[in-house]
Amino acid sequence: MESRWRRRRSCKTRLSLCSIFVLVLLLPRGSWSQAPDSRIIEAARREGHVVWYTTMNLDSAKEFVNRFQKKYPFIKPELMRAGGGVILNRILAETRAGRNAWDVAMGRGETYRPLRERELLSPYSSLEATMYPEDLRDKEGYWYAVFLNANVLAFNTKLVGKEELPRGYQDLLNPKWKKQKLSIDVEGWALISGLSNAWGKEKAISYLRKVAAQQPAIKRGNALRASLVAAGETPIAIAYAGSIQELTDRGAPIDWIPLEPVVVQVYPMMLAAKAPNPNAAKLFIDFVLSKESQEVIRGFSRIPARKDVEPDPPRLRQFKRVIDDPGKLNVDETAKVFNEIFGLR
């Protein structure tokens, strides 16, 4: 009797363990937190410092620095915030001078290729990598997207009825959108590189020449141009979804729709090949890519790149996209073609 009871209890134990094992297997990979390697933490403790070059606005960047220092009080973060061109030129100037001053950089996609070509970046297999779609990270680990900027079509809800709305790129060629009715950014180079990735370079350039023939309003600044649409200066504009959504949420007469494939620009996080504090840098990258930090990104009215963190509202990422791939982006060549098409400089 006792033996039979023990066998039954043993079976129940094995069943319980099996059930737990199956449940673990069914959990989405990466849905639980993975603790950083203790060896990296100890090495980072000895380094005690991490230097971050970023284009993120200063208040947001400081928020990340403060949160990171709270989690790792033995590491002192140093922040250098500037525009993408300034950061790239500073890194190149420091390299020529034989200085290795930075650990981690984050900027617009065009900063990646010049650094990679000069072998100034190191690959890193982040613990968080599996929670990022394949098109939002480099397969070798040279960059990870932190947040996205999606180029969508803004429209003034008082000036443009839903039945008039363009539903695809070809609809922008309708004569009703001629002569300053459509606003495009003066640095809208991503339209060339992104649409080239989707359609091929020849078709993309041919299309944009037709758009240029419509005589669009060419102005600088996504937030500014979204505000001008809300004010009724231009009825429609290609601009960043995040900037438009902020105005929509405040009750301004503006909304947006995706023209698919939506050209999406990424802001990549990169590790320096000769980082003075490589272990602290890896901890910082893991921290920025973590679910906690991506939820902070969402709170900044940006589109998080991580799969398990929905933007607010979720439609900010619910469309067919094409990535303006940092690895393929030659900004000098693309800007030259863009300027020639639209008659700039």
Domains (ranges, CATH) in the chain? 38-147+267-310 (3.40.190.10), 149-264+332-342 (3.40.190.10)
Give bridge partners of residue 122 from the DSSP assignment: 271
- Say if CB 272 and CB 104 are below 8 A apart: yes
Q: How far apart are CA 90 and CA 58, in angstroms?
A: 18
> With 80 as the cut, is the pLDDT of residue 250 above it?
yes
pLDDT tens sequence across 100-127: 999 999 998 999 999 999 999 999 999 9
Mean pLDDT of the chain: 90
Q: What b/e sequence results for 20-30 when a residue is b if at least 16 CB atoms lie within 10 Å of its CB, and e otherwise?
A: eeeeeeeeeeb
pLDDT at 34: 63
For 48-66, give the DSSP string: -EEEEEE-S-HHHHHHHHH
pLDDT tens sequence across 218-230: 999 999 999 999 9
CA atoms within 13 A on the CB side of 127: 18
Instruction: Note if the bond before 313 is cis, omega within 30 degrees.
Output: yes
Please state, as a whole number, how many other Cβ atoms lie within 10 Å of the Cβ of residue 226. Answer: 26
Select the more confidently predicted residue: 12 or 116: 116
Q: How far apart are CA 213 and CA 173, in angstroms?
A: 9
> With 60 as the cut, is the pLDDT of residue 33 above it?
no
Residue 282 amino acid letter = K
